[in-house]
Amino acid sequence: MNRAHAPRVLSIAGTDPTGGAGMHADLKAISAMGGYGMAVVTALVAQNTCGVRSVHVPPVSFLREQLDAVSDDVVIDAVKIGMLADADIIATVRGWLDNVRPPLVVLDPVMVATSGDRLLDASAEGALRELCRVADLITPNLPELAVLAETAEAADWHQAVSQARQVSRDLGTTVLLKGGHLTGADAPDALVDARPDPAVPGGYAEAHAPRVATTCTHGTGCTISSAMATRIAAGDTWPQALERVKAWLTRALTAAADLEVGQGHGPVDH
Ligand code: PLP
């Protein structure tokens, strides 16, 4: 696919006023990967690199107005979904997706921030699991993968791959497995698809990079999912997109310390 224009990528996500996570990270990642970024806000989050202070959820009628305002006017090439906060927001986004049917949906099943603060009501985990069925690609971290697989968190790469296979089969989606949470010198990422007719040739593609020793990892999940949505919408094959995003994110993590943003887990250098 060769497009004359940059892919138009919509982020549906929460906010981070320090600019490292949520829709702010999404917009930076979409731009860095050559896309045109747009954003609909699900929840306003008073947070910084040290943690979440409070969350304000606007009425879902206003969320629907934001979504319709974009789709009534702009052709959307890809959607990236991040923080959804509660079951009403999930239902509203689901209703809009069923209506608009964007060609590519990448879902980051955000549940708990690295700081330990909840970004999704625990009672909405089942609804988020169901939403995964309408996503082409999901990008859970290992704790989120365990919730989706309804089992304990994977202790090693082998266990993580088998959980990703189960989730892919059960929910009918491709899983981007991120090795960053595991210990070891190498931190592979992989696309896992256990369906009979997988979106990824052979159902498995891996990308490798040396582990970057840094505590500046705030918003990495938001960043990787938006970057993947942009590169796939730009016409990369899924394994090409993974290779390119992994190489870029490794550079962004390496450069993160020089940003000197905040006193907690700083952002990556988009
Ligand atoms: N804030 C928002 C709005 C998010 O969407 C996310 C994750 O997706 C986070 C914070 C979590 O950031 P992290 O766990 O990388 O610190």
Phi–psi pair at 17, nearest 5 degrees: -60, -20
Q: What is the ipTM of this complex?
A: 0.91
Pairing mode, strands 51-56 and 204-207 = unpaired
Question: What one-character DSSP code corresponds to residue 111?
Answer: -
Mean pLDDT of the chain: 93
For a ligand 1 pocket test, name from 12, 15, 16, 142 the mutation site with the most ligand atoms within 8 angstroms of its C-beta.
Answer: 16
- What is the Å distance from ligand 1's center to 84 Cα? 11
> Is the residue at 85 inside a domain?
yes
Residue ranges of alpha helices (H) inside the chain are: 22-32, 60-71, 87-100, 125-131, 142-149, 157-171, 220-233, 238-254
What's the gap between Cα 81 and its chain centre?
Answer: 7
Phi–psi pair at 179, nearest 5 degrees: -80, -5
Q: How many domains does the chain have?
A: 1
Q: 21 is written with which tokens?
A: 């996570």
> Is the residue at 266 inside a domain?
no
How far is the C-alpha of 245 from the C-alpha of 224, rounded, in Å? 7
CATH assignment at residue 174 = 3.40.1190.20
> Is the residue at 269 inside a domain?
no
Ligand 1 binding pocket includes 25 (Cβ within 6 Å): no
Q: Which positions are annotated as active-site residues?
A: 178, 217, 219-222
Q: 222 and 249 in contact (C-beta within 8 Å)?
A: no
- Domain that includes residue 152, residue range: 8-259
| pTM, two decimal places | 0.95
> Is the residue at 89 inside a domain?
yes
Q: 269 is written with which tokens?
A: 């250098």
> Is the residue at 154 inside a domain?
yes
Residues 28-87 have pLDDT tens digits of: 999 999 999 999 999 999 999 999 999 999 999 999 999 999 999 999 999 999 999 999
> Is the residue at 104 inside a domain?
yes
Of residues 197 and 215, the one with the higher pLDDT is: 197
> Is the residue at 149 inside a domain?
yes
Ligand 1 binding pocket includes 45 (Cβ within 6 Å): yes
Residues 102-152 have pLDDT tens digits of: 999 999 999 988 888 899 999 999 999 999 999 999 999 999 999 999 999
Ligand 1 binding pocket includes 160 (Cβ within 6 Å): no
> Is the residue at 3 inside a domain?
no
